[in-house]
């Protein structure tokens, strides 16, 4: 079956670095996505990894290891506005996406 | 500007009534999806459609129905058969072969 695990909650301090981990088990893997979701709002796309390695986009980076079924999202120079839920999602089969339960990140001054 | 529009943002219905949630996109995306989000749970796939006049059940399709008569529109009907309909409903679309899914702003349905 399909399964994604990520921590439920994390806290960090403004200006710090935080790493949110995600492990997954799926068949027909065709990419891993990270989304940011503020409370009551739609998820917004952050990153997409289909090959092993690190993808960097400004303050955000995402890493993938397909052999380990593992990804992480790295957020640098944390800002208060980064307080949100971060959703790990895996594409599988031809065109389906399964989501983890999300990691709620709280950034404190 | 292109995007996905979901309406209404908040919806209240009495138990036993059917209700239809609207989802319209002007991105010329081929595929459209409906997800349900409950507190403490990830988004769960209800239905999806990859082309006009065709759609497939997702993981939790029972009690829901959809149609895809136009490329731009993918309405979701929550029927009285859905045992626990109160939730946040998200519509998404994707251009086939592209990386990203674009989400609408969601409809929060409350059944009383």
* Beta carbons within 8 Å of B1's beta carbon, 6+ residues apart: none
Question: Taking the CA of residue A84 as centre, how many other CA atoms within 13 Å lie in the half-sphere pointing to its CB?
Answer: 19
Cβ atoms within 10 Å of A37's Cβ, excluding its own: 20
Measured on CA atoms in the order A6, A12, A15, A17, is the torsion positive or negative? negative
What is the pLDDT confidence band of residue A32, given thresholds at 50, 70 and 90?
very high
pLDDT tens for residues A33-89?
999 999 888 899 999 999 999 999 999 999 999 999 999 999 999 999 999 999 999
Q: Which residue has the higher pLDDT, A95 or B49?
A: B49
Tell me which chain A residues have a C-beta less than 8 angstroms from the C-beta of B108: 40
Q: CA B68: distance to chain centroid?
A: 11
Quote the DSSP letter at residue A52.
Answer: S
CA distance B14 to chain A (A): 22
Q: Taking residues B30-43, report their average pLDDT.
A: 90
Q: CA B97: distance to chain centroid?
A: 21
B107 has pLDDT over 80: yes
Note which residues in 19-48 of chain B have CB less than 8 A from chain A: 31, 33, 35, 40-45, 48
A94 has pLDDT over 70: no
Contact A87 B106 (CB under 8 A): no
Task: Please indicate if any CB of chain B lies within 8 Å of the CB of A69.
Answer: no
Place of tokens 């626990």: B84
Cβ atoms within 10 Å of A7's Cβ, excluding its own: 15
């Amino acid at each position: 079956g399909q399964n994604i695990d990520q921590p439920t909650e994390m806290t960090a301090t403004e200006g710090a670095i935080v790493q949110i981990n995600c492990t997954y088990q799926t068949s027909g893997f065709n990419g891993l996505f990270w989304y940011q979701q503020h409370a009551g709002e739609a998820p917004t796309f952050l990153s997409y990894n289909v090959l092993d390695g690190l993808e960097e986009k400004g303050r955000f980076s995402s890493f993938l290891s397909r052999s380990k079924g593992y990804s992480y999202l790295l957020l640098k120079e944390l800002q208060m506005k980064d307080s949100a839920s971060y959703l790990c999602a895996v594409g599988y089969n031809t065109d389906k996406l399964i989501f983890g339960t999300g990691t709620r990140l709280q950034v404190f001054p | 500007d292109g995007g996905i529009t979901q309406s209404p943002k908040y919806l209240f219905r009495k138990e036993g009534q059917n209700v239809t949630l609207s989802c319209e996109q002007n991105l010329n995306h081929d595929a459209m999806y409906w997800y349900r989000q409950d507190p403490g749970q990830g988004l769960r796939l209800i239905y999806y459609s990859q082309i006009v006049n065709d759609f497939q059940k997702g993981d939790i399709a029972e009690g829901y129905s959809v149609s895809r008569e136009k490329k731009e529109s993918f309405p979701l009907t929550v029927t009285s058969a859905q045992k626990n309909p109160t939730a946040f409903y998200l519509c998404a679309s994707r251009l086939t072969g592209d990386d990203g899914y674009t989400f609408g702003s969601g409809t929060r349905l409350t059944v009383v």
